Amino acid sequence: MTRNSPIRPDRIGDDIAALAAITETGRPWTRRAFTPIFLEGRAWLDQAMQAAGAITAVDAAGNLVGTIPGRRPELGTIMLGSHSDTVPEGGRYDGIAGVVAAMEVARALSDQGIELDHTLQVVDFLAEEVSIFGVSCIGSRGMSGTRPLEWLERQSQGLSLKHAIAQMGGDTAQEARRNDIKAFLELHIEQGPVLEAEKLDIGLVTAIAGITRIEIVVEGRADHAGTTPMHLRKDALTIAARIALKVEALANALAGGAAHFAATIGEFDMVPNAANVVPSRVRMLVDARAERREDMERFLSELRLGVALISGDTGVLVEPLTIVSDNWPTPGDARLLEVLETACERLGATHRRMASGAGHDTAWMARITKAAMIFVPCRGGRSHAPDEATTAEEIALGAAVLLDAVLVLDQALQEEEKWDAS
């Protein structure tokens, strides 16, 4: 950060400390969406946004939005933000850094007496993390008009998602999709070790990986563990283990290329799960993430073939693979990435282009507007854990990049519209 920068790390640090203090008792940095403690954090953010000069409201999708009207509001909106909800015991910076950085951009503009032509909005999206309803990015999907209608009837703790959004201040009977947003930018901690390892300040996110989840069910046969000869068993667990190793081998092969790829078996259920019974059934859920769709297609094709060969060799039935969910990769807007890269160079921020293996609200905002995001480093690449950490200075440099980009976009978007109209 340069000495005369309008971005102030001390304010950023104070904001993050204040939000960190709003947490479930005995569970540091836990503010899950749709809980009283989440609403307490929201109330603090509402006041902070107002102090930054914004007019606040909760939109129909349940997002908290702070609005600073532009001199020419007919030009549309430049939006910045992220989310304030957390995973259990792991949300000191994940999402929060982006909301706080957006507020700091608004404060810096106010401090300098700068009024944009475009309206500026700061957003705290509802439920970016997987919620008690088993789904994520609820607010950004609502704002982008991509939230499935059937989600509203999902139930948790005797409450439907529809009524839970209402408790957050939203109204699912109203239209939530926006058509006035001309650009969306999100700052986030990297949640990985690359920037720290390479001693870089900023990551420019070229694409948010597509996420495909695949259910694999192995149907073996229960038998006595002590009396059934090894060669006569149909052990579902040993077959599942071979499939797991196949998943790992395929992922390693694809990860060796230029684009990001990863696959994890994160859910695993075994029946009957008794010490003296040969396992009869195993269910696995594969989480696969690809920067390029062609890599995901190759993974699925080779996984189906590999599973079929394992089943054929052993005589143990493996049910056809079930695609539980399948979201394609989202590239960052090329023009916005150029603007952000130029901002880094102007500020002397070291940077590199990189993919995001994690999902973000930006992926859904890209459905309705130009969208891009930047990463700032986090210690050891740790995230979704109590020791997730970065510094106010690192967030501040990211906020300075956002500020520079906003000032450029305020004029460049107008020129672009003139060009498109001609």
List, in sequence order, every beta strand (DSSP E) within 242-280. Answer: 261-271
> For residue 165, what are the β-bridge partners?
none
pLDDT at 4: 77
- Residue ranges of domains in the chain, CATH in brackets: 9-208+329-421 (3.40.630.10), 210-327 (3.30.70.360)
DSSP 3-state of 121? strand
pLDDT at 257: 85
DSSP 55: E
pLDDT at 422: 41
Q: Which residues of the chain have pLDDT under 50?
A: 422
| Token pair recorded at residue 181 | 């947003």
pLDDT at 1: 59
Note the Cα 30 to chain centre separation in Å.
Answer: 17
107: left (phi over 0), alpha (psi -120 to 50) or beta: alpha
pTM as predicted: 0.91
pLDDT at 90: 87
**What is the total residue count of the chain?**
422
Beta carbons of 301 and 321 less than 8 angstroms apart: no
Cα(394)–Cα(56) distance, integer angstroms: 27
User: What are the DSSP calls for 299-319, one per residue?
Assistant: HHHHHHHHHHHHHHHHT-EEP
Cα(275)–Cα(14) distance, integer angstroms: 53
